[in-house]
Amino acid sequence: MGTKKPENINFVFLGTSTFSVDMLEDLKEKGFIPKLIIATPDKPAGRKMLLTSPPTKVWAEQYNIPVWQPENLKGDVKQEIIARTECESFDLFIVVSYGIIIPQTVIDIPDKGILNVHPSLLPKLRGASPIESTILQDENPGTTIMKIDAKMDHGPLIAQENVSISDWPPYREDLYKVLREKSGELLTESIIPWLSNEIEEVVQNHDDATFCGKFTKEDMLIDLRESPKENLRKIRAFSGIGNAYFVDKDKKGNEVRVKVTRAHIEDDALIIEKVIPAGKNEMFFSEYEKNIKA
The predicted-structure confidence for 28-58, as pLDDT tens digits, reads as follows 999 999 999 999 999 988 778 888 999 999 9
Q: What is the CATH topology of the domain spanning 6-212?
A: Rossmann fold (3.40.50)
Which pLDDT score is estimated for 48? 81
What single-letter amino acid sits at 274?
K
What's the CA angle centered on 43, arms 39 and 44, to 5 degrees?
160
Rounded to whole angstroms, how far apart are CA atoms 138 and 225?
A: 21
Q: Are 65 and 36 in contact (CB under 8 A)?
A: yes
**How many other C-beta atoms are found inside a 10 Å radius of the C-beta of residue 267?**
6
CATH superfamily of 217-291: Formyl transferase, C-terminal domain (3.10.25.10)
Rounded to whole angstroms, how far apart are CA atoms 17 and 76?
A: 25
Q: How confident is the model at residue 3 (pLDDT cuts 50, 70, 90)?
A: low
Q: Are 147 and 115 in contact (CB under 8 A)?
A: yes
Q: Are strands 269-277 and 255-266 parallel, antiparallel or unpaired?
A: antiparallel
Q: Are 116 and 155 in contact (CB under 8 A)?
A: yes
* pLDDT single digits (tens) 129-151: 999 999 999 999 999 999 999 88
- Give the global pTM: 0.91
Q: How confident is the model at residue 2 (pLDDT cuts 50, 70, 90)?
A: very low
The closest of 177, 173, 170 to 263, measured between CA atoms, is: 170
* pLDDT single digits (tens) 235-280: 999 999 999 999 999 988 899 999 999 999 999 999 999 999 999 9
Taking the alpha carbons of 216, 206, 180, 116 in that order, is the dihedral positive or negative? negative
Q: Can you give the residue ranges of every domain in the chain?
A: 6-212, 217-291
Q: Are 96 and 19 in contact (CB under 8 A)?
A: yes
Q: Are 65 and 41 in contact (CB under 8 A)?
A: no
The closest of 187, 209, 186 to 127, measured between CA atoms, is: 209
Q: Are 25 and 55 in contact (CB under 8 A)?
A: no
Q: Are 237 and 41 in contact (CB under 8 A)?
A: no
Q: Is 20 helix (H, G, I), strand (E, B) or coil?
A: helix
Q: Which DSSP category does 113 fall into?
A: -
